[in-house]
Chains A and B, each alone.
Chain A
Amino acid sequence: MDYDLNEEQELLKKAAKGFLSKECKPLFVREMEEDPQGITPELWQKMAELGWMGLIFPEEYGGIGGSYLDLMVLLVEMGYSCLPGPFFSTVILGGMTLMEAGNEEKKQELLAGIAEGKIFVTLALTEATAGYSPERIAVKAEKDADNFVINGTKLFVPDAHLANYIICVARTKEGGNKEDGITLFLVDAKSQGVVITPLKTFAGDKLNEVVFNNVKVPERNILGELDKGWSIMKKVIQKAAIAKCAEMVGGGQRALELTIEQVTEREQFGVKVGSFQAIQHHCANILTYLETSRLMTHQAAWRISEGLPCEKEIAMTKAWVTDSCRSLLALAHQAVGGTGFMEEHDLQLYFRRTKAAGVYFGDADFHREALADVMGL
């Protein structure tokens, strides 16, 4: 057993921490929440130059060939700094779906562009019924000569406003088994009939409604096989869930630091607030939530990297981290007190983001139910 990051991962962590502490300060995070784009081209390009966008793509597609575990190291730091922008949507949702399902031509064409920071891709998965089970996919794609025609509304699509391509998860066949008959379409975001409307969100990230009105997609733009898209989606959802866990762990780390700063500086009744046992017990619980979330996330990411069976660990991890980091933030607010409730204090940034990450790609109940299935209950 070995619980430690390797040397390269430690270096990556240090470099990412250093870069983000300069380039992604809390004021910038606040500005980007208000900014319609949600990112500056300058920062995006600098991140691309560091190789972050291509970290997990194979070298032949312009990437660095890193592991999923390497990516997780980066995501923890992104969560720590509340990094805004489309890294998650483009690299994880878009990039990983292309890696899993794209043919050689599509990979050549798009992955290098993503790695260079020139192409944005996102995933249109959830709908008005808001959920991650195949039953919830109702947007239709029907065959029409050489094309498929997509009709329907996707909701909560991240960064669609920036996207060059939207991967649309659509139903191509009705029938008994809901997993069967789902197909992934690579849609040019400029296609006629695509209407993108931003949604105002409480965590300040850029989610959109994407309406498909008779949008024509050529058959060659199917990713993977016709009707067989769900098995790909399942993998992407699982990896995205762990990626969200990594972000929450990073945010939890920062929330802990903010808490410790406050309770070691502030005095009440003539002593440091942090010397009260009630506060110490809150802090001990925060550290326990954080470290257990980190351990679970590391284990799941490691299993993904090693290609080991990981369905059980992923379900456990997303359930655990979602609840733990939510509790962690609530305790942090309790310890910090009224100051943390103020807009100027950074704690509230993490409080909002953690809840948003918690519901993304399956909340705790969803993953516990998935786990119950794995347990044969």
Chain B
Amino acid sequence: MDFEFTKEEKALQEEVRKFIKKESTPEMLKETEEMGDIYGAPEGRKIIQKMAAKGWLTPTWPKEYGGLGLSDVASYMIREEMGYHGLPFGFIAAHMAGPTILRFGSDDMKKKWLPRIASGELEFALGYTEPQAGSDLSALNLRAEDKGDYFLLNGNKLFNTSCHIADCHWLACRTDFTVAKHKGVSMMIVDLNSPGITISPMVTMAGWQTNEVVYEDVHVPKDRLVGEKNKGFYYLMAALDFERMFPLGRYRRVFDEVVEYTKETILDGKPLSKDPLIRQKLAQLSTEIEVTRLLYYQLAHILDKGGIPNYQSSMEKTFATECAQRIVNVGMDILGLYGQLKEDSKWSQLKGKVEKFYRTSIVETIYAGTSEIQRNIIAQRGLGLPR
């Protein structure tokens, strides 16, 4: 048993921190917050491509595809650091599409796409959800007709967040309507600049944008098909296991700032941090953050042992996202009336960060499978309860 990083991992952590400190700009930090931590906007691309050049975007990948062949623990650690220090950390290409291509893609596809993903040159947008296909992804209906040397695409996608800043759509579509729902789905990579694609913004209460995407007679060349036709649902499920990891870094940072605030803010002659109720709440959150850390690195440990996290991913995602909500809720309680003030108010505290993350935190327990779906998975896969 060993719950610490190796010497090499600790050294790498130091190096990553130094790099981020040196390369971060106020513009990048602001942009990342406005984007909701996703990758693809101009300032983010500048710093992430520099990171990627060191192999830090895809550290577990083989060297020939732009990786470093490092452990998953190292990779998880880097992502946690990125979140904590305000860098984008939601990567569709590097963390979901890439690993799927690595496992299921042809050699040609690997050579064509992986190095460009590893360098941060290309970002994908996730194209799963549709108006009628949220938690039940097998209900997706975007139609892809096989026209010989290309597919012809028609239909709608919803809540496809990165579409307005990404290069390609990591698209799940239906290639066969005659078989059982999950047997007729295919995955393909679609250039988001293709004629016939219309992206309409949907602005969230957190301030950042997600999108509705309409496909009208869009042509997709055959070599953009990932793996085999009609096997897409299987790839998609495998990729979801990568997505269901949730690094808490961004919220951990908010927590640390709230803790500092309670030490520095004097009320009735003593710091807020001396209030027994506040002490209890902060100690509880600090404990939950530690619990999350253990769950998070457990996933990396399972991967490093050659396994695939199963219900453990759902457990981590659920625990971490609910913990995130508790962090900002306590933060709002501690700030009290001040918590309502937006960043540019004269009296706002902690640059309005707490209210901003309070708004954001609501979606964390919804996307990538709601907490209810995750608990079904924990019960069914983790405990063998009947479906």
Contact = CB atoms under 8 A, between A and B. Distances in A.
> Max chain B CB contacts within 10 Å: which of A281, A315, A377?
A377
B312 to A, nearest CB: 8
B319 interface: yes
B291 A320 contact: yes
A284 B5 CA distance: 29
Given A368-B279, A371-B283, A371-B287, A1 B300 contact: yes
A287 B295 CA distance: 13
A5 B383 contact: no
B372 A1 contact: no
B263 interface: yes
Given A283-B379, A284-B378, A377 B3 contact: no
Contact of A302 (B1, B376, B379, B382): B1
B287 A295 contact: no
A375 B279 CA distance: 9
Interface in A360-377: 365, 368-369, 371-372, 375-377
A300 to B, nearest CB: 9
Contact of B286 (A288, A295, A371): A371
A19 to B, nearest CB: 23
Interface in A292-317: 292, 295-296, 298-299, 302-303, 313, 315-316
A4 B3 CA distance: 10
A347 interface: no
A283 B290 contact: no
Interface in A265-303: 271-272, 274-275, 277, 279-281, 283-285, 287-288, 291-292, 295-296, 298-299, 302-303
Contacts, number: 136
A295 B280 contact: no
B161 interface: no
B283 A369 contact: yes
B11 interface: no
B301 interface: yes
B369 to A, nearest CB: 13
Nearest to B273: A377
B165 to A, nearest CB: 34
Interface of B: 1-5, 73, 259, 262-263, 273-274, 276, 278-280, 282-284, 286-288, 290-291, 294-295, 297-298, 300-301, 304, 311, 315, 318-319, 372, 374-376, 378-380, 382-387
20 contacts: A1-B300, A3-B298, A4-B1, A260-B383, A260-B384, A263-B385, A281-B375, A281-B376, A281-B379, A284-B315, A285-B375, A292-B291, A295-B298, A302-B2, A302-B3, A303-B3, A316-B286, A368-B283, A369-B276, A375-B286
